[in-house]
Structure 1
Amino acid sequence: MKKVLLMSLLCLWGVGMQGADTSILDFGAHQNSVDNTKAIQAAIDSCALTGGGTVHIPDGTYLTSTIFLKSNVHLYLHGGSILKGVTDPKAYQGKAVVVGENIRNASVRGEGCIDGQGNHQNFQFGDDKGRRPHVILFERCQNVQVKDVFLYNSASWTLRCSNSDGIRINSIKIYSHGNHNCDGIDINSRNVVISDCIIDCDDDGICFKTDAPGFDVEHVTVSNCVISSNCNGIKFGTGSFNAFRNISVSNCVIRKASENNIRTWSKMLRGISADTTVISGIALEVVDGGIMDRVVINNISMQDIQTPIFIRLGNRRGNGVLKNVTISNIVAENESLITSSITGIPGHYVENVTLRDITFTYTGGADEKDASIVVPEKISEYPENRMFGPVLPAYGLYVRHVKNLTIENIQCRVRKPDYRPAFIFDDVHNASLNNFQADVSLGKSPIIRIDNSSDILLSRFRATDNVPLFLKVNGADSQRIDIRDNDFDKIKRKVEYDKKVKKSEILGL
Structure 2
Amino acid sequence: MKNLSSLLLLGMVLSISSQAIGQSNGSLPFTLPKVECPTFKADTISIDKYGAIKGGMVLNTVAIGKAIDACSNSGGGVVLVPKGVWLTGPITLKSNVNLHLQDGAVLQFSSNFDDFPLVMSYFEGWETVRCQSPISAKGQVNIAITGSGIIDGAGQVWRPVKKSKLTSAQWKALVSSGGVLSADKSTWYPSEKSLLGQNTTIQGYIKGGSMHEYEKIKDYLRPNMVSLVECKNVLLEGVTFQNSPAWNLHPLMCENLTINKVNVRNPWYAQNGDGVDIESCKNGVVTNSTFDVGDDGICIKSGKDEEGRKRGMPTENFLVENCVVFHGHGGFVIGSEMSGGVRNIIVRNCTFLGTDIGLRFKTTRGRGGVVENILVDGINMTNIPAEAINFSMYYMGKSPIAEPEDEGKTQTTVKEVGANPIADESTPQFKNFTIRNVACKGALQAIHLEGLPEMSIKNILFEDISIEAEKGIRCIEAEGVTFSNVTIKTTKGIPMEVINSTGVETSRVDLMGASQVKVSVGGKMAKGINLKGVAGASAATVKIGAGLSSSEIIK
Which of 234, 238, 242 is the equivalent residue of 2:332?
Answer: 234
Residues 101 and 148 of structure 2 are in contact (CA less than 8 Å); yes or no, is this contact kept in structure 1? Answer: yes
Two-structure CA RMSD over aligned residues (Å): 2.5
Partner of 2:282: 190
- What letter corresponds to residue 143 of structure 1 in structure 2? N
Q: How many residues align?
A: 416
Task: Report how far residue 81 of structure 1 moved.
Answer: 0.5
In the aligned structure 2, how far is the partner of 1:14 from the partner of 1:228?
28
| Closer, same or farther: CA 506–22 of 1 in aligned 2, 3 Å | closer
Q: Secondary structure at the match of 1:469?
A: coil
Partner of 1:105: 142
TM-score normalized with structure 1 length: 0.77
In the aligned structure 1, how far is the partner of 2:359 from the partner of 2:259?
20
In the aligned structure 2, how far is the partner of 1:460 from the partner of 1:398?
17
In the aligned structure 1, how far is the partner of 2:332 from the partner of 2:145?
24
In the aligned structure 2, how far is the partner of 1:36 from the partner of 1:218?
38
Partner of 1:18: 41
- 308-317 vs 321-330, greater mean Cα deviation: 308-317
Residues 530 and 554 of structure 2 are in contact (CA less than 8 Å); yes or no, is this contact kept in structure 1? Answer: no
Task: Report how far residue 314 of structure 1 moved.
Answer: 4.5
| Closer, same or farther: CA 225–505 of 1 in aligned 2, 3 Å | closer
Matched, 1:224 2:332: no
Partner of 2:68: 44
Which of 243, 248, 253 is the equivalent residue of 2:341?
Answer: 243
In the aligned structure 1, how far is the partner of 2:236 from the partner of 2:39?
17
Task: Report how far residue 334 of structure 1 moved.
Answer: 3.5
Task: Report how far residue 34 of structure 1 moved.
Answer: 2.4
- 209-218 vs 168-177, greater mean Cα deviation: 209-218
Which of 43, 61, 65 is the equivalent residue of 2:89?
Answer: 65
Q: Secondary structure at the match of 1:356?
A: strand
Partner of 2:360: 283
- What letter corresponds to residue 435 of structure 2 in structure 1? I
Q: Deviations over 1:237-273 (max 9, x none)?
A: 11121101110111000012xxxxxxxxxxxxxxxxx
- What letter corresponds to residue 286 of structure 1 in structure 2? T
Matched, 1:310 2:381: no
Task: Report how far residue 323 of structure 1 moved.
Answer: 0.5
Matched, 1:435 2:508: yes
- Report which structure shows greater RCO (CA 8 Å, sep ≥6): 2
Partner of 2:436: 328
Structure with higher strand content: 1
Residues 244 and 292 of structure 1 are in contact (CA less than 8 Å); yes or no, is this contact kept in structure 2? Answer: yes
In the aligned structure 2, how far is the partner of 1:204 from the partner of 1:230?
5
Q: Secondary structure at the match of 1:26?
A: helix
| Closer, same or farther: CA 121–206 of 1 in aligned 2, 3 Å | closer
Q: Map 1:350-389; keep pairs closer than 5 Å.
A: 350-363=457-470
Which of 197, 205, 212 is the equivalent residue of 2:297?
Answer: 205
Task: Report how far residue 91 of structure 1 moved.
Answer: 1.0
Q: Secondary structure at the match of 2:368?
A: coil
TM-score normalized with structure 2 length: 0.71
Q: Identify unmatched segments of 5+ residues in structure 2.
A: 1-15, 21-34, 118-130, 161-189, 205-219, 398-424
Task: Report how far residue 202 of structure 1 moved.
Answer: 1.0
Partner of 2:120: none
Partner of 1:462: 535
Partner of 1:28: 51
In the aligned structure 2, how far is the partner of 1:319 from the partner of 1:62?
48
In the aligned structure 2, how far is the partner of 1:335 from the partner of 1:355?
17
| Closer, same or farther: CA 467–324 of 1 in aligned 2, 3 Å | closer
Task: Report how far residue 439 of structure 1 moved.
Answer: 1.6
Residues 448 and 472 of structure 1 are in contact (CA less than 8 Å); yes or no, is this contact kept in structure 2? Answer: yes
- What letter corresponds to residue 272 of structure 2 in structure 1? N
Residues 95 and 137 of structure 1 are in contact (CA less than 8 Å); yes or no, is this contact kept in structure 2? Answer: no
Q: Identify unmatched segments of 5+ residues in structure 1.
A: 1-5, 257-277, 364-394, 479-500
- What letter corresponds to residue 439 of structure 1 in structure 2? M
In the aligned structure 2, how far is the partner of 1:281 from the partner of 1:49?
45
Residues 431 and 458 of structure 2 are in contact (CA less than 8 Å); yes or no, is this contact kept in structure 1? Answer: yes
Partner of 2:174: none
Q: Secondary structure at the match of 1:47?
A: helix
Task: Report how far residue 122 of structure 1 moved.
Answer: 7.8
- 217-226 vs 15-24, greater mean Cα deviation: 15-24
Structure with higher helix content: 2
Q: Secondary structure at the match of 2:134?
A: strand
Matched, 1:402 2:478: yes
